[in-house]
Structure 1
Amino acid sequence: MDQNQKKKKKKANRRRQKEEVMGVSNWSELCPDLLRCVFKRLSFTSLDRAKAVCSSWHSASRGCVPKQNQIPWLILFPPNEEANSNSSCGFYVPEDEDKVYRSRDLGVDFARSRCLTTCGSWLLLLNPLMDLYILNPFSGERIDLPDTQSLRLRYLKYVRACLRIDNKTKCYLVVMLHSCVFAKKGDNKWHDLPLLTFNKDFVYNHKDQMLYLQDLSNPYLVNIWDLSGDHPRKDGAVSLGYFRFNHYDFPSFLSEEDHELYWEKLRGSMNRIVITVSGEFLMVSSIVQHCKSWYFRIYKTNHVGGKWVKINSLGDEALIYDMGITVIANDIPGIKRNSIYFSSLDHDKKDTHHIFVYDITTQKMEPLPQCVFSFLPFSNARWFFPC
């Protein structure tokens, strides 16, 4: 075959391929079963984009559950001033790098509400009238909870709550920790939890549906509650052993002789309990300095003697500080192993310098992309796991 014949054949092949592509049916006419096979393999954000392609794709996506989300998102809440006209929230998805998504308009009530906790894609909110409700910011679904007049909600700063909700059935269980009451789907009033003691700190592990309460009168005791049923059930207690905040463990504490500089810089310090993937308890100490620098130290109990010892790595896990849990972070795009995802949620610091990812290896704060904070004004933020 000479050179001219080769060129003609190559040209004919390209023409035939083009004709074949041009002859493909409209993408909106793809078989719904085929679309569903593809949709169930997509991530949360990819499935959301696919739904918006056309009406037939949106119809085929109904009932499709996206691939289990394994990375934390940051939700940005709108300013709650009366003059604020913005009633939507923003979502920063680390997997999508420099992109921030805006939710639908969620109404004035949402803009003036405070988020107490999250469960999957659902938010537990308290509005200025002291009404409690559950809201899905993606679908706009809202569930109003029983009247709160009997609850002690006067001091909003101290209101703590726990939420469990099923995405399909919408069966929920809400526990108001400060008021020692709970309510479930179908209830028109709150029920007392007499055995629930006041707590210093708490962690709700969505994976095993267990609530861990650090006792206020005895901070070395953790009471465990099972929230998997219709009623919260006490499931024992664990003694963590004595723990004392050790300022010597932080890099800026030079020596006893130079301690004045450390205390001069210090603006706050605290401890919190954490539950690992394997169910092990950790204690996380943190300090913040006047230069807006944060430092963290992590401790676990030594199996020999039960004493707390400092550890320098979380291995293949990442700590979601807002939720008090660790998650698997090895080889998962969008989440960094051996890091702490922090939003200063309990520190009353509505400042972009206090929302970051902390690298435990380098002991340095890694700020989020500037687009996250310039996208829209916000009053608060927290990390969560939509599903």
Structure 2
Amino acid sequence: MDQNQNQNQNQNQREEKMKSRDIDWSEICIDALRLILESLSFADFHRAKTVCSNWYSVSKSCVAGSRNRYPWLILFPESELCFKLLDLRHGKIYKTKGLEDEFPNPKSRCVASYGNWLLMLSHRLKFSIFNVFTGERIKIRSLSLRGNVRIERKNNGDFLLEHSWFDRETIINRYIKTAALWIDEETKDFVVFWIYNDQYLFSYKKGDDSWWHFEDTKCLAMAYNKEDQKLFVYTSDHFIKILDYSGDDDMPNEIVEGNMYLNHPFYYDLQPWEYMWKRRVAITTSGDVLIILSLKVLPEIKSQEKRLFYIFKMSVEGSEWERVDSLENQMLVFGDGWLTLEDAKEEDIGGGIIKSDSIYFVADDLWPPQAHTVFQSSAGVFDLARTEISWSRLPHYLSNVRWFVPGSDKK
């Protein structure tokens, strides 16, 4: 056997020996793993940290995982089984290639988001939680939808939501407009909330046997405080009620004693030239409850009508709601009532404005324009200091677009 044959045989033996070994990537050297994770793009970083618990633990100490969080745009094309993620600050676009098997039904609609996760609602009234970077999907117990308008509990403890049977998609798009989501990225514990027809509040927590319904209370808006696991609900009689989800019971407990908002209903007297479109509730990083109104204002010259957002917070004395003009270096995503810390200066990069003390919205969050007016885009940013709107420069008008804030909560 000549020397070349000898070398080839030895090489083949080494390769076979390597193939036979079980490589445990979870045991890779921490310093080496940290270098690998730091070298990845934002999207790949969030995919990689889900490999195992060790990779997730190391990712918490990476610079890539502690960057400031700010809103991205997510676009849901109607004819494709993928969507685009737009990082406007860095001018990058990510596509969800290779996730076709995990992607929800093309007719699904995103009704809420939290970090890298979306709460999706299908045309059959089935909810699921979907990770935009990994494609992981968590199915949630479904409700039924049929018949005429009424809500009743079935024998197995689930709910039967009844409405017109012949136009289910229109009903879902029209009557389910407010939802919220929280999920722990490591344990996958979650809780979801949604309001039907500006009245009925439903919630479902991981491990529950059935959905819970807030009876005898009409609900208009809500926000979840993950720190103490409490849901703040804005009711039709203009009070804030607090539901505690921290217990192990199948249903939350309503907090009465200690609820500073119960004796102070929120009222805003619209001026003759003001028209209210929507309201949302948000929780600040310090735990304060905010009520945000989307309005249209008609000055003396009607052609100069403006669309504005007003923010209200309980006074320091806890005696009345007062209007505030700043988010104190935070950003707010209007649709989700989600605030994020961000101290960056104003930037105009990649076709969109990223700055603090601003409210991020989509076109449907504003009073519809006059018939002869066309929005420049389907998403924009409201500067609270200037009371001005900047539209994100998208190539064309997209109705199925949404702001979300990717990344993990800072520990």
Instruction: Calculate the TM-score normalised by the size of structure 2.
Output: 0.66
Identity %: 21
Please state if 1:38 is matched with 2:35. Answer: yes
Distance 1:202 1:386 in 2: 22
**Could you tell me how far 1:276 is from its partner in structure 2?**
1.8
Tell me, yes or no, if the aligned pair for 1:72 and 1:93 is still in contact at 8 Å.
Answer: no
Count, aligned residues: 326
Shifted more, 178-187 versus 222-231: the winner is: 178-187
From 186, 194, 199, give the equivalent of 1:168.
186
Please state if 1:276 is matched with 2:284. Answer: yes
Q: What is the identity, as a one-letter code, of the residue corresponding to 2:326?
A: S
Distance 2:254 2:293 in 1: 27
Structure 1 counterpart of 2:65: 67
Structure 2 counterpart of 1:342: 361
Instruction: Calculate the TM-score normalised by the size of structure 1.
Output: 0.69
Tell me, yes or no, if the aligned pair for 2:278 and 2:294 is still in contact at 8 Å.
Answer: yes
Please state if 1:287 is matched with 2:306. Answer: no
Distance 1:383 1:345 in 2: 16
For 1:270-302, what per-residue CA distance to the aligned partner results, in whole angstroms no more than 9, with x for missing partners?
A: 433332221222332322468785212223333
Structure 1 counterpart of 2:401: 380
Q: What is the identity, as a one-letter code, of the residue corresponding to 1:200?
A: L
Shifted more, 325-334 versus 201-210: the winner is: 325-334
What 5-or-longer segments of structure 2 have no aligned partner? 1-27, 145-158, 164-170, 298-302, 348-353, 369-373
Tell me, yes or no, if the aligned pair for 1:123 and 1:135 is still in contact at 8 Å.
Answer: yes
Structure 1 counterpart of 2:175: 158
Change (3 A) 1:172 1:344: same
Structure 2 counterpart of 1:145: 140
Q: Secondary structure at the match of 1:38?
A: helix
For 1:23-51, what per-residue CA distance to the aligned partner results, in whole angstroms no more than 9, with x for missing partners?
A: xxxxxxxx853332335667971753996
Tell me, yes or no, if the aligned pair for 2:107 and 2:122 is still in contact at 8 Å.
Answer: yes
Structure 1 counterpart of 2:124: 129
Structure 1 counterpart of 2:262: 239
For 1:300-319, what per-residue CA distance to the aligned partner results, in whole angstroms no more than 9, with x for missing partners?
A: 33345823333332332222
Shifted more, 63-72 versus 200-209: the winner is: 63-72
Change (3 A) 1:361 1:185: closer
What 5-or-longer segments of structure 1 have no aligned partner? 1-30, 52-57, 249-258
**Could you tell me how far 1:109 is from its partner in structure 2?**
4.0
Distance 2:183 2:318 in 1: 39
Structure 2 counterpart of 1:18: none
Tell me, yes or no, if the aligned pair for 1:204 and 1:323 is still in contact at 8 Å.
Answer: no
Q: Secondary structure at the match of 2:32?
A: helix
The structure carrying a bigger helix percent of its residues is: 1
Please state if 1:355 is matched with 2:379. Answer: yes
Q: Secondary structure at the match of 1:36?
A: helix
Tell me, yes or no, if the aligned pair for 1:225 and 1:232 is still in contact at 8 Å.
Answer: no
**Could you tell me how far 1:234 is from its partner in structure 2?**
2.3
